[in-house]
Amino acid sequence: MSTRRVEASLKNHGYAYVEDTDHPEVLRARFDDYRFQFMLTGEAGSVLQARGRWNRSVSAARKPEMLKLCNEWNMSRVWPKVYVRRESEGLLGLYGEVTSDFSSGGSDQQIDRAIECGLRTVIAFFRELEERLGSEVDELDA
């Protein structure tokens, strides 16, 4: 597993990305106006993680509601793992991530599928958030 193989998969799909100069194991991209990063973690750098951040911020006062939405998602689906993270004193970010372990190796097709799974499932979570919140989405901090 290597960052070059992840780059090759992104290129093969026609996805634009940028390298993170401070973190060479991280590639950053935008899909449907959501920020994503693809990174290799684990002892041998063989674990691929696709992580997306919802394009809205939420008041910390709404944390119980956001936790409930995330828990409902996590209880009924395998992917992605979703969570709430405090980003500043008064604001929360919502995230989704899919992690794939390639410590035993993996084909280019498996890497492609891991990336596609991460993108599709995380974006599906974000869209469900927007649907469930309805017109309230426009009142959130962008």
Q: What is the CATH number of the domain that holds 56?
A: 3.30.1460.70
Q: Tell me, what's the pLDDT at 121? A: 97
Instruction: Pull the structure tokens for residue 115.
Output: 């990336």
pTM: 0.92
Q: Peptide bond preceding 24: is omega within 30 degrees of 0, i.e. cis?
A: no
Residue 105 CA to residue 14 CA, distance in Å, equals 24
What's the number of domains the chain is made of?
Answer: 1
Find out whether 83 and 72 touch, Cβ atoms under 8 Å: no
Output 93 or 142, whichever has higher pLDDT: 93
Q: Tell me, what's the pLDDT at 142? A: 43
Q: Render pLDDT for 44-84 as a digit per residue (tens, 0 to 9).
A: 899 999 999 999 999 999 999 999 999 999 999 999 999 99
Provide the pLDDT confidence category of residue 134 given band limits of 50, 70 and 90: confident
DSSP string across 65-80? HHHHHHHHHHHH-SS-
Q: Render pLDDT for 12-39 as a digit per residue (tens, 0 to 9).
A: 999 999 999 999 889 999 999 999 999 9
Instruction: Pull the structure tokens for residue 92.
Output: 């929360």
Closest-CA residue to 38 (of 61, 66, 19, 11) = 19
Closest-CA residue to 41 (of 25, 53, 18) = 25
What's phi and psi for 86, nearest 5 deg?
Answer: -70, 125
Q: What domain range is 20 assigned to?
A: 3-139
Is the pLDDT assigned to residue 40 strictly greater than 70? yes
Instruction: Pull the structure tokens for residue 27.
Output: 């590639």
Q: Tell me, what's the pLDDT at 138? A: 74
Is the pLDDT assigned to residue 96 strictly greater than 50? yes
